[in-house]
Chain A
Amino acid sequence: MSRRTKLDFKPLSLGETAKRLGVPPARARKILALVGVDFDGRTLPKVRPKGQVRTGKTSSRRAKTMAR
């Protein structure tokens, strides 16, 4: 006899998971953002850490190089 149990359900959506766990939508959204996904399971773009400001200097230099 197999020791493996085949499951016959589909995993819940993230919205339904939050509901069943009793996690309010705003809190669930925050937790999902922490792991890098949204409610639809889409991967969120990585957020640049605070203090790391993009100056545009590099890109303009690159633009000049490309223009030559």
Chain B
Amino acid sequence: MPKTKEAVFLNIPYDPQFARLYLAYITALSAIGFLPRATLGITGNRRLDRIASLIESCAYSIHDLSRVQLDRNAPRTPRFNMPFELGLAVVWSQTDPRHKWFVFEAVRWRLNKSLSDLDGTDPYVHDGTVRGVMREVCNAFVSPVKQPTVPQMMKMYRELRRDQARILKNAGAQSIFTARVFSDLCMAAAGLRSKHLGSD
């Protein structure tokens, strides 16, 4: 997979409780000018290779480690995918220093306890809110053209949320955590960037 500067690997939990923040990340990253990429739709026994290949194709990666709770289904376990994929990105950044990784969390200081190997790395703390995600994405990145403001991002978010039902209906999907819906949401968010921030 060729490496692209605009691509950002989005490593987040795929569950309904995270839906608002999932849309917030898509909106915020699109507003900055990124092309979000995710592991949605990657299945099968070559999944790990394809995830590694996807990380390698992105210049940046965002790892949200806020979901540390046990899930509801028995046997109750935490989700290890996010820290595991962060590990893949860290190893890749040592091979290719152009790759930059960023850790996002909901609770300040929790990372020191949940993943003390990252001591010395300051996570971007979004407080588990949509506005917090917008704020922290703006704190992490400076747009190459026009830096969007948080209110502009919030406006884009509200419109994307409003159009989400139609996007789901057109895709014939029940969940927003599918490959097609993800790409359609990214497309819509890119359109909203043009609408609210201009096409530069």
Contact = CB atoms under 8 A, between A and B. Distances in A.
B191 A37 contact: yes
Interface in A1-21: 3-14, 17-18, 20-21
A37 B160 CA distance: 13
**In the complex, which range does the number of interface residues on chain A fall in?**
20 to 34
Contacts of A13: 199
A8 B198 CA distance: 18
B35 A4 contact: no
Contacts, number: 102
Contacts of A23: 183-184, 187
Interface in B179-200: 183-184, 186-188, 190-195, 198-200
Nearest to A20: B35
A20 B159 CA distance: 23
B143 interface: yes
Interface residues of B, number: 38
Interface stretch (A26-34, A51-59, A60-68): A26-34
B122 A3 contact: yes
B33 interface: yes
Contact of A32 (B60, B144, B191, B200): B191
Contacts of A20: 4, 6-7, 35
A8 B59 CA distance: 11
A3 to B, nearest CB: 7
A12 B195 contact: no
B191 A31 contact: yes
Contacts of A11: 6, 33, 144-145, 190, 193, 200
B62 to A, nearest CB: 11
Interface of B: 4-7, 32-33, 35, 60, 100, 122, 124, 139-145, 159-160, 163, 166-167, 170, 183-184, 186-188, 190-195, 198-200
Interface of A: 3-14, 17-18, 20-23, 27-28, 30-32, 34-37, 40-41, 43
Closest A-B pairs by Cβ, 8 of them: A11-B33, A41-B194, A41-B199, A9-B5, A21-B183, A35-B191, A32-B191, A6-B142
